[in-house]
Amino acid sequence: MLNFCKVYFDYLKFEGSDRLDLINRLSTNEVNSLEKYKGTKTILTSDKGRIIDVITMFNFGDFVFASCSAGNSDKVLAHLEKYTIMDDFRATNMAGTHETLLFIGDETGAYSKELFGTDATSFTNNDFLVLSEENNDAIASHNDDALGGFYFIYANEEKQHWERKLFSPALAGKYDLKELTAGEQEVKRIELGIPGFGKELSELTNPLECGLWDYVSFTKGCYIGQEVIARLDTYDKISKHLVGIKADEAIPVSDTPGETKILLSDNQCGFVTSSAVSEKFGNIGLGFVKTILLDNEKDYKIRTADKLIYCRIVKLPFGQNIE
């Protein structure tokens, strides 16, 4: 099985001798030691520890190519500029200049090796391979979330060259390539419990509530929001947790994070952030429930404009304890 889908990011370019040091001082992960052709995720947080965005850093040696959430590059740049004082740091907004494909499935490693001579799915973190053919450049980067596989990132003007190679008749026939729709991508994301920007990842949540422990360093020292996040960890004070939601009917969700409430014994205890209908698991969703009111054995309710929907809270990813 080999699936692919178009995914959307804004891209940025960081230059200057302080490019790694500044991001290290403004985000949750340790990036100062990021080596050439290595990639990693780090999270920009507010002074209250709330999420501004998750960015992926691709170190090219003399500059950093970075991704942030689609439509969020201006906000990311404004945040960086706010804290850039005497640093030798220049950021360029490259939103709209590149396209990205995600390849996932059991045969992704073999497909990658046939294309590039290297299995990009075997890389660690977000490490990447630079590809250059006929003056066309692209990168293949390991995807480190639960979907797995690899990202293929190329400039818009090089689309025709690279897609001829990626989707040649011989490869398409051999690997039975299937494109996933946006709806199918969303179902997979929710089934796996991967937090999405503007939904689970918002200024209502912090990295630990979203389960993003792998992108938070507790040893590197200060960064914006560090005191809040460190205190949550040290004193086990995480106030709410990302959870799966299972219901017998469609789960409503507002476009405004935090607006669709979850109730326990008629008291508000959380909110819904995403929902989908899964062939495997039925009506499912993601949301947050207060830690002190989190109990997988109890029945919860989702409040809509005209009724209450009964639901259960389940562990992520879906499939661990649904039936």
303: in domain: no
**Token pair of 60, please?**
């090219």
pLDDT at 307: 87
For residue range 48-104, list pLDDT tens digits in order: 999 999 999 999 999 999 999 999 999 999 999 999 999 999 999 999 999 999 999
Say which residue, 247 or 322, is predicted with more confidence.
Answer: 247
In sequence order, which residues have a C-beta less than 8 Å from that of residue 224 and are 6 or more positions away?
25, 26, 27, 44, 45, 46, 47, 83
Q: Which residues of 226-264 are buried (b: 16+ CB within 10 A; e: fewer)?
A: bebbeebeeeeeeebbbbbbbbeeebbbeeebbebbbbb
Domain count, the chain: 1
pLDDT at 323: 37
Confirm if 2 and 107 have CB atoms less than 8 A apart. Answer: yes
58: in domain: yes
pLDDT at 322: 39
136: in domain: yes
Is 2's pLDDT higher than 50?
Answer: yes
DSSP 48: T
**Alpha carbons 119 and 111: distance in angstroms, whole number:** 8
- Using CA atoms, how far residue 97 sits from 43, 93, 132, in Å, is 23, 9, 17
User: Average pLDDT for residues 229-258, to the nearest whole number?
Assistant: 92
128: in domain: yes
Confirm if 188 and 147 have CB atoms less than 8 A apart. Answer: yes
Segments forming the whole domain that contains residue 131: 1-166+206-236
90: in domain: yes
In sequence order, which residues have a C-beta less than 8 Å from that of residue 312 and are 6 or more positions away?
245, 246, 247, 296, 299, 300
The contacts found for 109-115 with CB under 8 angstroms, 24 or more apart, are: 110/175, 111/2, 111/171, 111/175, 112/140, 112/150, 114/171, 115/140, 115/165, 115/166, 115/171
User: Average pLDDT for residues 272-285, to the nearest whole number?
Assistant: 97
Which string of DSSP letters, residue by residue, matches 252-308?
P--SSTT-EEEEETTEEEEEEEEEEEETTTEEEEEEEEEGGG--TTSEEEEE-SS-E
Q: What is the pTM of this model?
A: 0.96
158: in domain: yes
**Alpha carbons 84 and 114: distance in angstroms, whole number:** 44
Q: What is the CATH number of the domain that holds 213?
A: 3.30.1360.120
**Token pair of 295, please?**
């109990």
196: in domain: no
For residue range 134-193, list pLDDT tens digits in order: 889 999 999 999 999 999 999 999 999 999 999 999 998 899 999 999 999 999 999 999
User: Average pLDDT for residues 112-132, to the nearest whole number?
Assistant: 96
Confirm if 87 and 22 have CB atoms less than 8 A apart. Answer: yes
306: in domain: no
Nearest in space to 195 (alpha carbons), one of 23, 43, 66 = 43
